[in-house]
Structure 1
Amino acid sequence: MTFVIYHNPDCGTSRNTLALLRSVGVEPRVVEYLKTPPSRAELADLIDRMGLAVRDAIRQKGTPYAALGLDDPALGDDALLDAMIAHPILINRPIVVGPPGVRLCRPSDIVFDLLPTGVTTALLKEEGVPFLVDAGIAGDDPGLVGALQSAGLPCDDLLAPGRTFFAYRTSAGDPVGFGGYEALGDNALLRSIVVLPAWRAQALGRNLVSLLQRRAFDAGARRAWVLTSSAAPFFEKIGFKPVARDDAPATVLATRQASSLCPADAALLARTIRF
């Protein structure tokens, strides 16, 4: 298999992605894009092949994004591309090119989208946790239903339209848990998130939610919401902020989770999805 990775060796996500590829026998061509950036045409082509808007391919954290005024929504693609070429640190990373296509591998687990189904590795991320692989499942999947019931989470609306669910396993093949979201235009209500007992207290919930947000992002969501009776501290640690129900979009409040299935005193939190 021929792969190319646009790599920043100072980025942990990029290092994890490169290490995972090598652990499954893939030796990609490594392009350190801060030293040898792609041409403007090459960058535009990569972004197009990833299915992203140009703005979605820009890295904001740790870059001159704000100083350059790139947060101005009036700026078009040409201006954004010019800025990325002039300041390659603005190119989000890592971008991986493989036989099936091109992906922005944030989180690094996304690289499995470019690998054959069933590839496994015992490699851990630098932070000591397994990579995760997700697979779409039906709302009535017995594993999902059983895990939600055991955790005391709602199951009544799993087959209603607009819900998307995933089963998660480690990159070595061990089942980890489940999660899903309801698509609400620019918003997504994350729900049915449960880590199996054997994997709790191992810092996997953060990675699971990150991967779930990425799937919602790829489906069009730009803001993630959660309702929880007991896990608000966890979600706040990973960037979610409490939101008063009066300030929430009507589409979120109209979901069965918000209107009837979750307790009236459940905390409502939200965050912008950004990678």
Structure 2
Amino acid sequence: MNEYHYNAETSARLDKWLTQESGLTRSSVQDWIKREYILVNGEPSKQNYKLAAGDVITVEEPQKEELEVTAENLHLDVVYEDSDVIVVNKPRGMVVHPAPGHPNGTLVNGLLYHCTDLSGINGVIRPGIVHRIDKDTSGLIMAAKNDTAHESLVSQLKDKKTLRRYEAIVQGVIPHDKGTVDAPIGRDPDDRQKMTVTEKNARDAVTHFTVLDRFERHTHVACELETGRTHQIRVHMRYIEFPIVGDPKYGSRKKNTFPIEGQALHAAVLGFTHPSTGEFMEFQAPVPEDFQACLSYASSLGR
């Protein structure tokens, strides 16, 4: 770990100053800031943070792990494919891309077997990947098959021009038919593996929800993302005290009795403007059998 002290009287942007002081490339500095390997006064920060006299910057270089990504026939459920984009209905339990602990069996492994023309913007570990959904969330995810398409899809996500609608089963009965959760999300200071609603080192996050059905103890909802923060729907539903059924991170501490492994959350609708034709395309994926079984179970508990 390296430590740097900022003692100038005038402020400076974190990523620019550290690039000059450390000899690292600016892209590496920006990436490590996002991944929280670079801290200011022991806390995560943003790359445009303005340094002040007395600030202490610590840099912990991530260990390089060689991951060999192999093509695997995972029998992907391909909903749509052309020369620019591929849309897959990801099963619950599948990780999106290889990482330590998950070197194979991921969506990327399956995509590499299915097609060889994925964009290279994210390197060999995440070819074509423009967004992610959690391991134990099922449903629709898109990947880019060339760099031009990749840039277009990422831009649409950034500009909030995509449609991403999820279905979830939550604990408790939501009394109102619709609502919006507008609450910033950042890393949980007490548990680095979790996110939380916070004002500190957070990013804006907005989730719209609509009640689809009510049971005696639970609610079936549709959640539409305006932003796309890590674990956003899971964090927001916990924040308003209606956590998602089966959620191991943000759900109830009581034993899960629902017939599902992981959270009852499914990416049901995905829409975006096609990178080449300019046509808005919308895709739907029905909830999987385990989600449907959870609806039946919630209904059996009463309405």
Q: TM-score, normalised by structure 1?
A: 0.30
Higher strand share: 2
Looking at CA atoms only, which structure, 1 or 2, has the larger radius of gyration? 2
Higher helix share: 1
Q: TM-score, normalised by structure 2?
A: 0.27
